[in-house]
Amino acid sequence: MTMLRSIATMLGAGPAPRPEPDEYAPEAAAMYEVKSSLEGKKERVAKLKAERDEKRSHKWRNWRWFSIVVVNLLFVASFQLDIQLVEGALTASRVVGFHFADLNSSLQVMLAYKVILINLVIGTVTVFLLWWTLGGRTFCSWVCPYHLLAEFAETLHLRLAKAKLVTDLPLHRGTRTVLYVVFVVLALVTGYTVFEAVSPVGILSRALIYGPGLAMIWVGGLLLIEVFITRRAWCRYICPIGLTYGIVGVTSPVHVKYNIENCLHEGDCRKVCMVPHVLEVTKKGYSKTVDVGLGPDCTRCGLCIDVCPTESLKYEVRGLNKLL
């Protein structure tokens, strides 16, 4: 039931409500009881935040930025130097002879042209296994070039919001699911890969490798929308690629694990998260168990891990701890 609930939340349903008292695991109930009786929470929070800020290194954010730059530069360098190490773009490529095909792009091609190509199938299976292993939406935060630009746009948006120059206009998260269906129907009916024409991921990838075109105007417009109107509009509310990889990552071994024992429930993790609904469990009384893996919509970006003052959020590979 928990898995089904997390999938429904990813598709746009509201997060799970606070559990009833009889739904808590005994260990979790005992910890919440202790937390309720503790005094001086504000002082402890302030002290721990000060200690965290003093030693903060933005470790996972820096590794992500490095990963995005390196992966995309491999495409650029391979094309410019004609060394054929990585051919193509993020939507479809061949890496040292192995075919890779973005799952959403493959679906668009198959529906639009009503044909199934063996190389496309091979590439799709390869990418599916890769991102299932690494965590589904890990693609979004560790490889996607638009994610990096959108992160900079988000920083600017937050600064303008703090100065009360802009306000965030959130959309319903179910919009992404509706648009996913719309793009599928358009490909099937028109015989054209409509989504590929507007996807900033493919546009940016091709622009980096082969040179920018007029489509970059659309990308610039999206970024302006995210700066002045809706925070992280594309990644949160529109992109079917994120939804596709979220589905892939439902049973992925790599996830972010939340532990309630030392959590102060101060909410900093939700403030920095691109998809804060996956962190509803960090609210006091919302986790039924002591340990819980975040939902499949989590991009494994590590921002919540970097910001948590008590290290209550960590990366985990399911089953690995039992083997060690």
pLDDT in tens, 145-175: 999 999 999 999 999 999 999 999 999 999 9
pLDDT at position 322 is 47
pLDDT at position 49 is 72
CA distance 193 to 55: 48
CA distance 82 to 65: 25
- We find that the CATH architecture of domain 2-6+24-31+47-59+254-323 is 2-Layer Sandwich (3.30)
Checking if the pLDDT of 69 tops 70, the result is yes
pLDDT at position 323 is 39
pLDDT in tens, 3-37: 888 899 999 998 888 999 889 999 999 988 888 77
pLDDT tier for residue 38 given thresholds of 50, 70 and 90: low
pLDDT at position 55 is 66
The per-residue pLDDT of the chain, averaged, comes to 91
Checking if the pLDDT of 324 tops 50, the result is no
pTM of the full structure: 0.92
Work out the percent of the chain whose per-residue pLDDT is above 90. 77
pLDDT at position 321 is 59
Q: What is the mean pLDDT of residues 124-128?
A: 95
Least trusted range by pLDDT, from 156-165, 250-259, 284-293, 313-322: 313-322
pLDDT tier for residue 270 given thresholds of 50, 70 and 90: very high
Comparing 99 with 3, which gets the higher pLDDT? 99
> 62 is written with which tokens?
């820096």
pLDDT at position 84 is 82
pLDDT tier for residue 286 given thresholds of 50, 70 and 90: very high
Q: What is the mean pLDDT of residues 282-306?
A: 95
Where along the chain do its domains lie? Answer: 2-6+24-31+47-59+254-323, 61-247
CA distance 89 to 84: 12
Distance of CA 268 to the CA centre of its chain: 18
Q: What is the mean pLDDT of residues 79-89?
A: 90
Q: What is the mean pLDDT of residues 44-65?
A: 80
Checking if the pLDDT of 78 tops 80, the result is yes
Dihedral sign, Cα of residue 177, residue 179, residue 182, residue 184: negative
Q: What is the mean pLDDT of residues 231-237?
A: 96
Q: What is the mean pLDDT of residues 75-91?
A: 91
